[in-house]
């Protein structure tokens, strides 16, 4: 995961390791914080969004 923001909310670009060990873009996770914690975790399972947020499709070790 790589920390970022989405519309002012804390978010992360998410990667997964495939069968050959390559870390590939998976999607974006956005947190909805409140004064007492996190009210929601919104997951967007779209690898293209990782690139839209300015991150690489592949993550080096």
CA distance 14 to 55: 10
Quick one: pLDDT at residue 60?
A: 85
Nearest to 30 by CA among 58, 7, 55: 7
Question: Do residues 23 and 15 lie in contact, with contact meaning Cβ atoms separated by under 8 Å?
Answer: yes
* Domain range summary for the chain, segments of one domain joined by +: 2-56
Quick one: pLDDT at residue 54?
A: 96
Long-range contact pairs involving 32-36 (C-beta distance under 8 Å, separation at least 24) = 33/9
CA distance 38 to 48: 26
The tens digit of pLDDT for each residue in 1-52 reads 999 999 999 999 999 999 999 999 999 999 999 999 999 999 999 999 999 9
| pTM: predicted TM-score of the whole model, two decimal places | 0.87
């Amino acid at each position: 995961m790589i920390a970022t923001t989405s519309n002012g909310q804390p978010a992360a670009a998410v990667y997964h390791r495939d069968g050959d060990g390559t870390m590939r873009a998976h999607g974006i996770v956005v947190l909805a914080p409140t004064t007492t914690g996190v009210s929601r975790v919104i997951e967007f399972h779209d690898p293209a969004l990782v690139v839209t947020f300015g991150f690489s499709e592949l993550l080096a070790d």
